[in-house]
Structure 1
Amino acid sequence: MKPEFFDACVTPLGWNQVDCLREHVKKSGLAEKIELVICSPLLRTMQTAVGVFGGENYTNGISAPPLMVENAADSGRPAISNLNCPPFLAVETCRERLGANPCDKRRSITEYRTLFPAIDFSLIENDEDVLWVPDVRETFESLGERGRKFIDWLWTREEKEIAIVTHSGLLWHTLRMDSKECHPTVRHEVSKYFANCELRSLVLVDRSMLGSDSPSYNYPGKIPDGVDLPSDVADKKQLEEEAQERTEPV
């Protein structure tokens, strides 16, 4: 692939697709439900993410930094506000297949921060792209495993409604791997290849309880602490009776 395709941006046709998807997201009511937007730290996915789920056009006088500056990467697009929209988080593990193709090599995080000031890049450890190498293409198996690690990480998030803006290759290999135990009809539907700017809703169920709700509604009681008659007397008596039952011969 040609070097000029390095970290490829959204094309004019792609921006039209972004605008159409944004309209759908608004009309369907989905925009009001999304709690977090996670995106791959490549130019085209971040442009898509802010174009679909970001605020309205940025105007002078707004003190908050924009999600995307005006004409980012010569896009010809106006700046996009981060007001009245969910937070955006860039995550390295949901990148496209690594290596060989210049379009899948990212820019430095320092440069990205100038283009997308309101996107959170704090989870990305290295400023420069240390994962992409010019002469080795990531295997499909490695790509799928990386996708599964990304899903495992998703369980650690508290948000329930998350929009993920990533790449068709990663999604296809990850969902095929994760749906092996599903009914063939379900697996076929889940692992269809994604079209550009396609949106699918998936409900992930964590059978291992790794991502179950924390007991945030539990309450320990006895606050403030003190003698509570007669319940304390009854509790003490019950404990004594249970202890006696355990010591009596059968």
Structure 2
Amino acid sequence: MIPLIRRARPHARWTDDGPRSSFGDDGSDEEVDGHVAYEDSRRSCRSIFRITIVIPVLIFVTVLVAGLISMAESVFSSSYLKYSTVPGFFLQDELDTDPNAFDYVASNFGLINRIYDTDGEFDPHGDKPQWERFENKIRSLVREAGKGVHYKVLFLGRHGEGYHNVAESFYGTEAWDCYWSLQDGNETSTWVDAHLTEKGIGQAETAHHAWEKQIENKVPAPESYYVSPLNRCLATASVTFSGLDLPNIDPFQPTIKELLRETMGLHTCDRRSSKSAIAEEYPHYKFEPGFSEDDVLWDAKSRESDSARSARLRKLLDDIFTTDGNVFVSLTAHSGAITSILEVVGHRKFQLATGAMIPVVVKAERVSGERPEEKIDPPTTAPKCEVDPTGASTARGVAVSTKA
């Protein structure tokens, strides 16, 4: 800072003859100018001191802070989240539970009727419902978790039946994979970004009523809702949750997550609609940051491998576990996506029927070091049809109404 120079005002000084002006006897201001020059010199020295000492100190501090930030980023980048399932809460965790016979509605979402070690203090009289005691147990795990450890309950819901499901069932998986899945539809139906059939809508309504029943039983409400961008999931989530007596759903505003979608590529049923079309049909839904207008992930010539899909769903879980502090989370997704999520968290294989739902308790722990290398298989192309998929047996078309 450049010092401001101004003339000093005359002031009195004591001599043998009494007070005298600081000006010279002849009225000149030589003494004052000398005083000003002296003060200027002192101020210049202080300025030089500030420049030579303070600025280097500031530079040093800046470099030090930047280094610490860099070190922190380096430490964070050299760690990863390790997932595991916490068993003992739901029937679907048990190996003797048959997925084909499992009824999530009749079994209270599979919740096991049991006593927790936290019941003594929370429910000394034994009059609280199972869901309340379950929620208390989970929140106690969250409170007592060590540094870098997180717990969440994931409500994993599969979409209801779509037109593509009916088409694959009608044509058979072989003809579907080699030919029909690559088409936009047939003479009676379309399955591009497949919509729900009437049966699929009914399955979502069943899920809605199942939630109504469990709300009466004090089920912990999802605190966050995520949904695949494909129409069958957008519709299933809307029918399932809209109008329920749950917080944060008036209106129902789930977040659309690109990575939550089905296996990508080849099959037109897995090509999503544009962002504008989704927003027009579901105006209250929220898009995650960076959601593109057009589908840039779907490839007409190759299909994502199962291992690549699991790696993608791991990234989704990393995103949710590092950015969402809520404990109870709903995800409305697909068979393939749910299969990969269960694989990533170490859960047993558990195939869900269309419209079904299961909760899973997941533990995520941040581990130092690099994530173990995963083998990612390359994408595949459509298999070659061994027989004519458009033969007489398929001329009837799919017996469903065309979705407008």
Which TM-score bucket, shorter chain as reference?
0.5 to 0.7
Match of 2:286 among 120, 130, 141: 120
Give 1 or 2 for the bigger CA radius of gyration.
2
Report how far residue 19 of structure 1 moved: 0.6
In 1, are the aligned partners of 2:263 and 2:336 still within 8 Å (CA)?
yes
Aligned CA-pair RMSD: 2.1
Report how far residue 206 of structure 1 moved: 1.9
User: How many equivalent pairs are there?
Assistant: 176
- In structure 1, the partner of 2:314 is 148
- In structure 2, the partner of 1:175 is 342
Distance 2:197 2:252 in 1: 25
2:374 is the counterpart of 1:208: no
Distance 1:198 1:38 in 2: 16
3-state SS of paired residue (2:357): coil
Residues 159 and 193 from structure 1, CA distance in 2 versus in 1: closer, same or farther, beyond 3 angstroms? same
In 2, are the aligned partners of 1:91 and 1:121 still within 8 Å (CA)?
yes
In 1, are the aligned partners of 2:243 and 2:249 still within 8 Å (CA)?
yes
In 1, are the aligned partners of 2:276 and 2:293 still within 8 Å (CA)?
yes
1:184-221 superposed Cα distances (whole Å, 9 cap, x missing partner): xxx43xx21121111111111122289xxxxxxxxxxx
Matched AA of 2:243: G
2:328 is the counterpart of 1:161: yes
In 2, are the aligned partners of 1:53 and 1:85 still within 8 Å (CA)?
no
1:85-105 superposed Cα distances (whole Å, 9 cap, x missing partner): 653100001110000000000
Q: Which has the higher strand share?
A: 2
2:224 is the counterpart of 1:36: yes
Task: Structure 1: give runs of 5+ residues left out of the alignment.
Answer: 57-81, 180-186, 211-250
Residues 140 and 53 from structure 1, CA distance in 2 versus in 1: closer, same or farther, beyond 3 angstroms? same
Matched AA of 1:142: A
Distance 2:219 2:277 in 1: 28
In 2, are the aligned partners of 1:40 and 1:94 still within 8 Å (CA)?
yes
- In structure 2, the partner of 1:50 is 238
Distance 1:32 1:85 in 2: 19
Q: TM-score scaled by structure 2?
A: 0.41
Match of 1:198 among 351, 356, 362: 356
Report how far residue 122 of structure 1 moved: 3.8
Task: Structure 2: give runs of 5+ residues left out of the alignment.
Answer: 1-180, 185-189, 369-404
Distance 1:83 1:192 in 2: 29
Distance 2:344 2:222 in 1: 26
- In structure 2, the partner of 1:77 is none
Report how far residue 53 of structure 1 moved: 1.1
1:116-159 superposed Cα distances (whole Å, 9 cap, x missing partner): 00000143431000100111000111001001111111112022
Distance 1:106 1:149 in 2: 20
Match of 1:134 among 285, 289, 300: 300
